[in-house]
Amino acid sequence: MKSPLIARIRHWEDPVIVMIGLQLLAAPWMIDYQTDVPAAANAQVAGAALAVVGVGACLRYRAWLQRMAAAISLWLLVSPFALGFVNVKNAMLNAEIAGTAVLLLSMLTLLSKLRREAAWSKTHSN
């Protein structure tokens, strides 16, 4: 028997976004860049935001949550340059990889939802 939360998750991508957010939260200590304040703070704030957005998306699908995840991922992609931690390779790679992964996952979720809605409207039109 599935738990109520597992039964409610419609997109496999949403729990993955939560895990990426949690990884970002722990990353400054896991990959040793906790002394670089801009990089560490960026990872923690973006990670917490992604985890919250991902949990919200797991509980109930809303397109704005996927767009919010995409926006956070775009920030992750530009943050090493905007905050000046390009020379902190661990932090930069972590932000770039997490940002790319979340962007792909959120776009995949949005596109699958659009495809399902188009198929539904096609079968239910006159």
CB neighbour burial string for 66-82, b if at least 16 within 10 angstroms, e if fewer: bebbbebbebbbebbee
Note the pLDDT tens digit of each residue in 22-73. 999 999 999 999 999 999 999 999 999 999 999 999 998 888 999 999 999 9
pLDDT at res. 52: 97
Taking residue 102's Cβ as centre, other Cβ atoms within 10 Å add up to 28
d(CA 56, CA 65): 7
pTM of the full structure: 0.84
Mean pLDDT across 91-115: 92
- With a cut of 70, say whether residue 7 has pLDDT above it: no
Query: Under a CB-based contact definition with an 8 Å cutoff, are residues 104 and 74 in contact?
Result: no
DSSP for 102-120, written as a single string: HHHHHHHHHHHHHHHHHHH
pLDDT at res. 121: 65
Q: Where are the domains of the chain?
A: 4-123
**Side-chain half-sphere exposure of 28, counting CA atoms within 13 A:** 16
| Position 81 confidence tier, pLDDT thresholds 50, 70, 90 | very high
pLDDT at res. 10: 74
d(CA 70, CA 80): 17
Burial (CB count within 10 angstroms: exposed 0-12, middle 13-18, buried 19+), residue 44: middle
| Element at 73 (helix H, strand E) | helix 63-83
Residue for token pair 């409610």: 8
- With a cut of 60, say whether residue 98 has pLDDT above it: yes
pLDDT at res. 63: 87
